[in-house]
Amino acid sequence: QVQVMESGGGLVQSGGSLRLSCAVSGSIFSIGAMAWYRQPPGMQRELVAEMSSAGTTNSPDSVKVRFTISRDNAKNTLSLQMNNLKPEDTAVYYCAADVRLSVRSGWYRSWGQGTQVTVSS
């Protein structure tokens, strides 16, 4: 019932910008925190930025000044504005959303399929 779909990835040069989008759809009672993760080649998945339903954000220092996360609760969408991109940012970027399907259901994290971001030097 829940679908998480990322879009906006692509190939950019160092210093360029890219905006990723994530749309959550399906029969969902509630969406809690939403987050962007990334997985560079040969490395483990890492948190890029996250935002609670109330707007609280969290991100590592490596991207904090360059990336901006935003969400539209009415549209169930999440965005990641990435500026001054570096080759180190090359990764598959995943969107995740904590969802609750009904009043009596617990929370679980739903993941998108990922979108490739490649930054050339």
Q: What is the pLDDT of residue 83?
A: 97
Measured between alpha carbons, how far is 85 from 67 in angstroms, rounded to an integer? Answer: 9
How do residues 54-108 score in pLDDT, each as one tens digit?
999 999 998 899 999 999 999 999 999 999 999 999 999 999 999 999 999 999 9
pLDDT of residue 1 exceeding 90: no
The reported pLDDT for the residue numbered 25 is 96
* pLDDT > 90? residue 51: yes
pLDDT in tens, 20-31: 999 999 999 999
Residue 24 corresponds to which tokens in the numbers above? 């959550």
pLDDT of residue 89: 97
> Which pLDDT score is estimated for 62?
86
Longest dimension (CA), the chain: 50
Instruction: Name residues whose C-beta falls within 8 Å of residue 42's C-beta, 6 or more positions apart in sequence.
Output: none
Q: In sequence order, which ranges of 4-98 are alpha helices (DSSP H)?
A: 61-64
Average pLDDT, the chain: 96
